[in-house]
Structure 1
């Protein structure tokens, strides 16, 4: 089994389900607070895929309300915004034996390191995304 560094938003329902799947498969987790990590564009970029719109937490209250403006034609500016407001980062971020991933694509993770079961429900989309506020940081 492998060591997984798992950057999460504490209290996130889906992150809890994702960690449970990894632990059930016998993987060791080093859970870290995504919102308190000292992100820079250089430290964040290895986790992100090629599709810039996939970098963003669509449940972020400012994104949903239109208050947060992201210019997807300017990836460096978007990275800077994500570092300044980590709630913008789609989660989880995972470092699995040096391979950095964003999001929880269960099939891909199963192929990489193995899972004992695949989720029967969507554990990527925020279950609170239907609410006006979506997921907020504690204290907000």
Structure 2
């Protein structure tokens, strides 16, 4: 199985669930703090691959939820500058296995990428389950 470098926001409920799924599939998970990682523009950009700029963002981040930032109106450089300034904007998790990188946790994509155990039902473990702006999952 794979060693997955897993950049998360510590305390995020979904990141915890995602790490459990990876471990249950036999992967070794190395959890790293997305918020304190010394990101460089080129390195961060590599995680997003062919994703549209809007898909680089954590939709639960308050500036997106409240319409302060419209990812559809940003260039790649503008988006990266905002994320480097405020890592809470980055879609989580960022994962690395060898030289292969991924942003977000689409279960089907992760299963295709490195394999996951069958689960009874695919569930949304990427969107923040909390509804309040002060929740620890995607905010502050």
TM-score clears 0.5: yes
Query: Contact 1:46 / 1:100 at 8 angstroms: preserved in 2?
Result: yes
Structure 2: any 5+ residue segments left out of the alignment?
none
In the alignment, the residues of structure 2 paired with residue 107 and residue 66 of structure 1 have an alpha-carbon distance, to the nearest angstrom, of 29
Name whichever of 66-75 and 93-102 sits farther off: 66-75
In the alignment, the residues of structure 1 paired with residue 113 and residue 63 of structure 2 have an alpha-carbon distance, to the nearest angstrom, of 34
* Of 125, 128, 136, the match for 1:126: 128
Report the number of matched residues.
136
Deviation at 1:112, TM superposition (A): 2.1
In the alignment, the residues of structure 2 paired with residue 42 and residue 31 of structure 1 have an alpha-carbon distance, to the nearest angstrom, of 21
Partner of 1:42: 42
Deviation at 1:69, TM superposition (A): 5.5
- 1:11-30 equivalences under 5 Å are 11-30=11-30
Name whichever of 50-59 and 109-118 sits farther off: 109-118
Q: TM-score, structure 1 length as denominator?
A: 0.88
Partner of 2:5: 5
Q: Secondary structure at the match of 2:127?
A: coil
In the alignment, the residues of structure 1 paired with residue 110 and residue 71 of structure 2 have an alpha-carbon distance, to the nearest angstrom, of 29
Q: TM-score, structure 2 length as denominator?
A: 0.88
- 1:1-140 equivalences under 5 Å are 1-50=1-50, 51-68=52-69, 70=71, 72-118=73-119, 120-128=122-130, 130-133=131-134, 135-137=138-140
Deviation at 1:36, TM superposition (A): 0.4
Deviation at 1:96, TM superposition (A): 1.4
* CA deviation profile, 1:7-47 (whole Å, cap 9, x unmatched): 00000000000000000011011100000001121110010
* CA deviation profile, 1:85-121 (whole Å, cap 9, x unmatched): 0000010000012101000111121122211124532
